[in-house]
């Protein structure tokens, strides 16, 4: 009978993890370029008893968090510092004190020291994977390849120079991407694909997150029903166990 209870408890643990991923997705629904977390199935561990595996299995939170590859919608803003990738592809960004990562976030700004950063504060990386530093300027334009052309503040009116290039990668193919412990997207063991400048960059747009509120709501209803079924299984197992115990009881004298 306890096997039935372990099965139900493991199902409830998986349901809990799915609800955590759903809460993460809904909390970041308004974050530009956010990629939806996919369900994490975790791993299974079997209880060892007397040197042999036991039939009792436990759900263990050890699986990696994969992210959805579905692009979000591109919303026109007209701002020079707003960029988005049309179709597949990623920017390269680096958090302070962290390792480089991939990002779809394109709400950029020029920091006080000239470093180009996104809305999360991560430094945008150039083709050499070094942070992009922009001088004072009158205007800025970004090409489809990610080239940054500026009109320097100390230059002649109408004079433009190339101040950097946003490092991008196009279709990552079979490169497995996951959300790392710091919330950034990298490959296994922190590996990243090589920058190939194959992504199509658009200026004056922002990509919305790919979280669908209706889909998350329907998924939440399914999770609630799954939780109720799991609780019913546990209650049924308790009733069966109590009934079996009463049968084995010695008759009253």
What's the pLDDT score for residue 173?
73
Give pLDDT, residue 244: 77
206-215 tens-digit pLDDT: 999 999 888 8
Confidence of residue 161 (pLDDT cuts 50, 70, 90): very high
Region 156-172: mean pLDDT is 90
Residue 129 CA to residue 90 CA, distance in Å, equals 13
pLDDT of residue 63: 62
The sign of the CA dihedral 107, 203, 68, 97 is: negative
User: pLDDT digit string (tens) for 86-102?
Assistant: 989 999 999 998 999 99
pLDDT of res. 131: 96
Q: Among 53-57, 150-154, 221-225, where is mean pLDDT lowest? A: 53-57
Closest Cα to residue 146, out of 158, 123, 164?
164
DSSP the chain: -HHHHHHHHHHHHHHHHHHHHHHHHHHTTTSTT--PBPP---EEEEEEETTEEEEEEEEES---EEB------EEE---TTBEEEESS-EEEEE-TTS--EEE---B-EE-TTSBEE-TTSPEEBBTTSSB-B---EEEEEE-TT-EEEEEETTS-TT--EEEEEB-EE---TT--EEE-TTS-EEEGGG--PPP---SEEEESEEEPP---HHHHHHHHHHHHHHHHHHHHHHHHHHHHHHHHHHHHSPPP-
Model confidence pLDDT, tens digit, residues 121-153: 999 999 999 999 999 999 999 999 999 999 998
Q: Cα separation of 205 and 201, whole Å?
A: 10
Task: Average the pLDDT over 165-182 and give the result.
Answer: 86
CA angle, 31 then 33 then 36, to 5°:
80
47, pLDDT greater than 70:
no
Q: Which of 16-20, 34-38, 121-125, 169-173 has the lowest mean pLDDT?
A: 16-20
State residue 129's pLDDT score.
Answer: 93
Of 12-16, 24-28, 110-114, 219-223, where does mean pLDDT reach its minimum? 12-16
Q: Kindly indicate the confidence band of residue 56, based on its pLDDT and cuts at 50, 70 and 90.
A: low
Q: Is the pLDDT of residue 6 over 70?
A: no
Per-residue tokens: 212: 């669908």
Task: Say whether pTM exceeds 0.85.
Answer: no
Q: Residue for token digits 């412990």? A: 181
Residue tagged 């960059």 (tokens): 201
């Amino acid at each position: 009978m306890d096997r039935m209870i372990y099965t139900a408890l493991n199902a409830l643990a998986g349901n809990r993890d799915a609800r955590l991923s759903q809460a993460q997705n809904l909390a970041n629904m308004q974050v530009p370029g956010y990629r939806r977390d996919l369900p994490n199935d975790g791993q299974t561990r079997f209880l060892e008893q007397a040197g042999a595996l036991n039939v009792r299995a436990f759900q263990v939170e050890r699986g990696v968090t994969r992210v959805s590859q579905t692009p979000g919608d591109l919303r026109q803003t007209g701002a020079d510092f707003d960029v988005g990738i049309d179709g597949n592809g990623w920017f390269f960004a680096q958090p302070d004190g962290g390792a480089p990562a991939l990002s779809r976030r394109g709400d950029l700004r020029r920091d006080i020291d000239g470093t180009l950063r996104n809305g999360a504060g991560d430094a945008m990386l150039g083709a050499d994977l070094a942070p992009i530093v922009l001088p004072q300027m009158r205007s800025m334009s970004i090409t489809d390849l990610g080239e940054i052309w500026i009109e320097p503040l100390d230059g002649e009116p109408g004079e433009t120079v190339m101040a950097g290039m946003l490092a991008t990668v196009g279709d990552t193919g079979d490169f497995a991407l996951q959300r790392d412990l710091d919330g950034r997207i990298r490959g296994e063991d922190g590996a990243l694909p090589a920058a190939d400048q194959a992504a199509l960059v658009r200026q004056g747009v922002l990509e919305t997150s790919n979280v669908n509120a209706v889909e998350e709501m329907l998924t939440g209803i399914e999770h609630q029903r799954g939780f109720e079924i799991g609780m019913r299984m546990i209650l049924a197992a308790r009733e069966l166990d109590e009934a079996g115990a009463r049968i084995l009881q010695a008759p009253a004298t």
